[in-house]
């Protein structure tokens, strides 16, 4: 009877120890899984941040190109306005010259 009691006690003790080890193993697995999830989340956050940085750089480059294009268009328009003004002045000078020639011709006709 004593032997059976000792056997039961030993079995219970072994069972409790096994249960404790199993619980510790489950905890270790849970901790490892949680750590793996954290690593994956950190990697996802890094990728997201990198993508956001790239988008910001692309937007900045696009903005710079638009500003440069607007500046170039402004220069083209200013140059076109200058050319137009120059042509208008030239046309005005030619008109005055023609007017003077006509007056000269008219004066000659009157003298003859």
List, for residues 46-66, the tens digit of each pLDDT value. 999 999 999 999 999 999 999
Backbone angles phi, psi at 110, to 5 degrees: -70, -30
Average pLDDT, the chain: 89
pLDDT of res. 35: 92
Torsion of CA 89, 94, 95, 99, to 10 degrees: 140
Q: Which of 39, 35, 32, 34 is nearest to 47 (CA)?
A: 39
List, for residues 11-38, the tens digit of each pLDDT value. 877 777 777 777 777 777 788 888 999 9
Q: What is the pLDDT averaged over residues 72-90?
A: 97
Q: Name the pTM for this structure.
A: 0.50
pLDDT of res. 19: 74
pLDDT of res. 62: 97
């Amino acid at each position: 009877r004593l032997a059976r009691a000792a056997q039961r006690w030993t079995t219970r003790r072994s069972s409790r120890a096994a249960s404790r080890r199993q619980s510790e193993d489950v905890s270790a697995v849970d901790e490892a899984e949680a750590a793996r999830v954290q690593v994956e989340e950190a990697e996802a956050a890094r990728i997201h941040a990198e993508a956001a940085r790239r988008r910001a750089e692309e937007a900045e480059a696009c903005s710079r190109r638009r500003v440069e294009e607007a500046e170039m268009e402004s220069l083209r328009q200013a140059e076109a306005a200058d050319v137009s003004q120059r042509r208008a002045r030239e046309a005005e000078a030619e008109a005055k010259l023609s007017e003077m020639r006509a007056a000269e011709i008219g004066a000659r006709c009157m003298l003859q």
